[in-house]
Amino acid sequence: MLDIKLFRDDPELIKENIRKKFQEHKLRYVDEVIEKDNRLRELMQESQDLRHKRNELSIKVSEAKKKGIDTSKYVSEAKDIPKNIEKTEEEMAKLRERINELLLVIPNIIHKSVPVGKNDKENVEVEKIGKPKAFDFKIKSHVEIAEKLGMADFDTSAETSGKGFYYLSGELALLNMALINFARDYMVKQGYVYTEPPLMIRKRVLEGVYSSEEIDQMSYKIEDEDLFLIATSEHPLIGMFINKTLKKSELPIKLTGYSACFRKEIGSHGIDQKGLYRTHQFNKQEMIVICEPEDSYMFYDEMMNHSKEIFRQLGIPIRELECCSGDLADLKAKSADLEAWSPRKNDYFEITSCTNMEEAQARRLNIRIDDGHGKRYFAHTLNNTVIATSRALVAILENFQNKDGSVDVPEALWPYMLGKKRISINTAMPG
């Protein structure tokens, strides 16, 4: 959500930003905001004038009564003022509601470093880290590997819960937990406070962290409750600070949280329809930062480097992609994805996303900073995936597979695997 002052001072900046995001249909919203804001300010002045006139007449009536003068002239003049004030305030309320609706769909101003492009096909590769392994045998998909190991069941989960769910068992389930524990410990060592959030949040919070389009596309609504299942722990972690004013001395706030995540969205039909790549439910470790505006891009780089280091330690080849303007969700000022190498596809796939929202989330959630000298302003908020275990499992199963169908465990995870260094055939799952 942008500051209304920006519409008054520099509407062309907002329009140019909309053009960079290829959302020309929203240009008219800027004009509508300006028009309605002008009318709102006129009405505010009218309301103030009416109240002032009412007060003046009240004084005149009081003075006239003291002097024994007829007050009917003043009473008659004041008679319609309450109705006019009420009518003015009703119109003002409607204008405020419409302005707020428009502000929620007009995109955040993107950072000057963001490349201009229409969609994810025009994202820009920043760097590659790690060299893909050469295989001397036919590469299997993660689904084939997991099912042959007897540690994943995608068919039974489709019967019990529908497509986009899965059962994990045995050493593969242990590997999933190893990734969570490894990611948690890494982030705590970097100074992030481990926090377990609620798995449901109210719409008021969701509207502060998501665009309306994202809510419609991704969020599971709890029937007859003002609650939604969380799509990521970022949302309740940021939501912890709704309507809070933070002291400058408290910043930065750095949290990391683990949770199950739930999303309606599922990938297009094809190679990954069955499996772990895109699912309705998955496990994820997240990191968030709330900080001073001038520090946010320093933390953006820090957070991205944490993700790179985690996958470097896991031994998974990755690349960083800078998201172009057309691929940024409306709340984002700048974002980049990390992608892992898939030897099965001979291509990269998304595993993490790092984002600076600048003050967009904080403005929606009313998260402010008190500088201790009488000045209050909105904080900047950032978020980044530490690890989404389902996608990390895809990368491990494909990149660490052996000819005999077994899978080596990345060395960084050995301390979390009860001594297991290799996952091999297991019949723990019911046949």
| Upstream peptide bond of 252 is cis (omega within 30 degrees of 0) | yes
Q: What is the pLDDT of residue 266?
A: 52
* Mean pLDDT rounded to a whole number for the chain: 92
* Confidence bin at 427 (pLDDT 50/70/90): very low
Whether 236 contacts 265, CB under 8 Å: no
| Burial letters 162-194, b for 16+ CB under 10 A, else e | eebbbbbbbbbebbbebbbebbbebbeebebee
Q: Does residue 82 register a pLDDT over 80?
A: yes
Encode pLDDT of 352-362 as tens digits: 999 999 999 99
Mean pLDDT along residues 116-133:
95
pTM summary value? 0.89
**Which token pair is 145?**
């590997």
**From CA 210, how far away is CA 7, in angstroms rounded?**
22
For the residues 158-164, what does the mean pLDDT come to?
A: 88
> Domains in the chain, ordered, with CATH?
4-105 (1.10.287.40), 120-423 (3.30.930.10)
Indicate if the pLDDT at residue 351 is higher than 50. yes
Dist. CA 423–CA 407, nearest whole Å: 5
Confidence of residue 430 (pLDDT cuts 50, 70, 90): very low
pLDDT in tens, 213-233: 778 788 899 999 999 999 999
pLDDT band at 81 (very low <50, low <70, confident <90, very high): confident
pLDDT score for 233? 93
User: β-pairing, 422-423 with 407-408?
Assistant: antiparallel
Tens of pLDDT along 14-46?
999 999 999 999 999 999 999 999 999 999 999
Mean pLDDT of 288-313: 97
335-341 contacts at long range (C-beta below 8 A, 24 or more positions apart): 336/126, 336/304, 337/123, 338/304, 338/307, 338/308, 338/311, 340/311, 340/316, 340/391, 340/392, 340/394, 340/395, 340/399, 341/130, 341/132, 341/316, 341/317, 341/395, 341/399
**Tens digits of residue pLDDT in 168-217:** 999 999 999 999 999 999 999 999 999 999 999 999 999 888 877 778 78
